[in-house]
Chain A
Amino acid sequence: MDYYTLTLREAEKLLATGEASSIELTESVLSRIEAVEGRVKSFITLDPEKALVQAEAADRQRRRGDCGRLCGLPISIKDVLCTAEMPTTCGSRMLENFISLYDATVIEKLKKEGAVLVGKLAMDEFAMGSTSENCAFGIPENPWKAGYVAGGSSGGSAACVAADESLATLGSDTGGSIRQPASLCGVVGMKPTYGRVSRYGLIAFASSLDQVGPLTKDVADCALMMNIISGHDRRDSTSVDLPVPDYTRALQDGLRGVTIGVPAEYFAQGLDPEVEQIVRAGIDMLRDAGAAVKEVSLPHTEYCVAVYYLIAPAEASSNLARYDGVRYGYRSRQADSLIDMYRKTRSEGFGDEVKRRILIGTYALSAGYYDAYYKKASQVRTLIKNDFAAAFTQCDLVVSPVTPTPAWKIGDKADDPLALYLSDILTISANLAGIPGLSVPAGFSRDGLPVGMQMQAAHFNEEILLRAAWNLEQRAEVKRKKPDLGQS
């Protein structure tokens, strides 16, 4: 049996009955990586030896009867989360050999449950981008079509799961960076409510927008991962002290009593007809499952890209000020004074997109421009948040496409940053409003590229999303399809 094709739950059952060991499972995953990584390129750091050491420890623990919920299961991590035992690069030369002094809270949680951490995954530098083309250490490719983007910024995380190079991964989402690559690669990806999951140890891009979330092979695994990573953390003052429900109990068959909202603004001009057709077919499936469907409006949708591309860079310009070559990370050796060191370090260590965003952000916050740009954007942000609050008095969740098109060729949008920004229009609002959102596979384009459906709900209502996504998954018949990576 090809253990690497299993979901977390399926693998856990096998390990629980003793049919397989974590060593065998991990070896299967490592062989898989060896076989397809040349094509997929999802990893920045891979440590097979360490993975097997962890697997052996997990097997020992299991024999002692001391088992966490992820005991012995191979999982990989977007390289934006601090891990003390593997470098954390954030996809940037600035942190090329950086070894964090501590594990992020979510990493601690995974380890506590016995997970086997296989490696760190490729991403757009400092999480800035929608294609992972801004990764300083190689661009991951969509497992469904060679030379096509895996999405971003959690492109490596999505490609890794889609290619069965790990049973699940963690990513981060600031403007769609989990949901969009999940959609483009045909996996499940969830951005939790802001404050649901600790950001301690998540390398910050935009502090009021960032969230950590899972990318998984199916909805049940997503629910399991959410159970494990969620929860208040005293070390993250923006994390919310609310109990964590058992998300796996949300996976009930049928949507009777549930009202689904379809926002007219998300089906506007520029939406690929195939994407629209697949998503609308998905809505019909949800109706068949018993849901009521009604049209709702999110009137300020057309402003969300403008709001995001002022607020996110502004927050980033502040967060990335710490990269100055003094205490850790890259330091330029060309400098002859302190200020020269700052300038050269940052200019040599950061890529173009990062510099672009730092400059937009600095400008938007600078004296004389703050009111016109940052403050204005923050006010419109309130209107966007209110749109959702109003919509959720009419329905329990809203559904839509995740991206206007399926995946595109690497390099195609590289010269027009604004065009790329505009493709984020459907995912950005969730971060601005702080609400949870997920992408669940809904179908394939004629070219064989995955298309996901996005679901969004009110704060802390991840359960309705998981329930609706699970019902779609049962009906959409895309779950067991795998990309052809030329391997048996």
Chain B
Amino acid sequence: MKITRKEVEHVATLARLELNHEEVEKITAHLDNILNYVTKLDELDTRGIAVTTHTQEIVNAFREDEVHECLVRTKALANAPQENGETFVVPRII
């Protein structure tokens, strides 16, 4: 087994996903399959090989530290499921 139910539940917690018993079973099987498949990469000796996270030869694209127009509050709140005119409103934290 490449991944156990317990690990799937742990990862679900990290990803803020709630899975029911049946989903955990199904997903564990799928993920196990996939993780087994990707062990194929162990066939390759990658010692000393640099990682590629970005395919183009560009570095930090900075801009001048100047204040520009930014999003007005009313617009920022426009899509909110719940808001009080000033901030987004969410259920209590604890």
> What residues on A are CB-neighbors of B19 within 8 Å?
347, 355
A359 touches B79 (CB 8 A): no
A377 to B33 CA separation, bound complex (whole angstroms): 17
Partner pick for A358 among B15, B54, B88, CB 8 A cutoff: B15
Q: How far is the CB of B7 from chain A (nearest CB, A)?
A: 7
> What residues on B are CB-neighbors of A305 within 8 Å?
37
Task: Indicate if B1 sits at the interface (CB-CB under 8 A).
Answer: no
A346 touches B55 (CB 8 A): no
B41 touches A306 (CB 8 A): yes
Task: Indicate if B21 sits at the interface (CB-CB under 8 A).
Answer: no
A306 to B21 CA separation, bound complex (whole angstroms): 28
Partner pick for A331 among B30, B55, B81, B93, CB 8 A cutoff: B81
A195 touches B79 (CB 8 A): no
A328-B80 contact in complex given A338-B92, A341-B90, A359-B12, C-beta closer than 8 Å: yes
B55 touches A385 (CB 8 A): yes
Q: Which residue of B lies closest to A239 (CB)?
A: B61
Task: Indicate if A77 sits at the interface (CB-CB under 8 A).
Answer: no
List CB contacts (< 8 Å) of A327-345 with chain B.
Answer: 327-331, 335-344
1/0 contact string of B4-23 vs chain A (CB within 8 Å)? 00011001101111110001
A356 touches B27 (CB 8 A): yes
Q: Which residue of A lies closest to B55 (CB)?
A: A434
A240 touches B56 (CB 8 A): yes
The interface residues of chain A, by DSSP majority, are classed as: helix
Q: How far is the CB of A373 from chain B (nearest CB, A)?
A: 7
Partner pick for B17 among A195, A358, A417, A434, CB 8 A cutoff: A358
> What residues on B are CB-neighbors of A362 within 8 Å?
11, 14-15
B18 touches A344 (CB 8 A): yes
1/0 contact string of B54-94 vs chain A (CB within 8 Å)? 11101011010000000100011011111000001011111
A359 touches B27 (CB 8 A): yes
Partner pick for A355 among B17, B40, B75, B88, CB 8 A cutoff: B17
A42 to B36 CA separation, bound complex (whole angstroms): 36
> What residues on B are CB-neighbors of A347 within 8 Å?
17-19
> What residues on A are CB-neighbors of B7 within 8 Å?
363
Task: Indicate if A392 sits at the interface (CB-CB under 8 A).
Answer: no
Partner pick for A343 among B16, B30, B43, CB 8 A cutoff: B16
A194 to B11 CA separation, bound complex (whole angstroms): 31
A383 to B45 CA separation, bound complex (whole angstroms): 11
Some 20 contacts from A to B, beta carbons below 8 A apart, are A101-B75, A101-B78, A101-B79, A237-B60, A238-B54, A238-B58, A305-B37, A306-B40, A309-B38, A339-B93, A341-B91, A346-B16, A347-B17, A356-B31, A358-B17, A360-B35, A379-B52, A380-B49, A381-B52, A459-B56
**Apart from the given pairs A342-B16, A363-B3, A383-B49, 12 other A-B contacts in the complex at a CB distance below 8 Å:** A309-B34, A324-B16, A338-B90, A341-B90, A343-B18, A359-B15, A359-B27, A360-B35, A379-B46, A380-B44, A434-B55, A459-B55
Interface residues of A (CB under 8 A from B): 98-99, 101, 194-195, 208, 234, 237-238, 240, 300, 302-303, 305-307, 309-310, 317, 321, 324-331, 335-344, 346-347, 350, 355-356, 358-360, 362-363, 366, 373, 375-383, 385, 417-418, 421, 432-435, 459
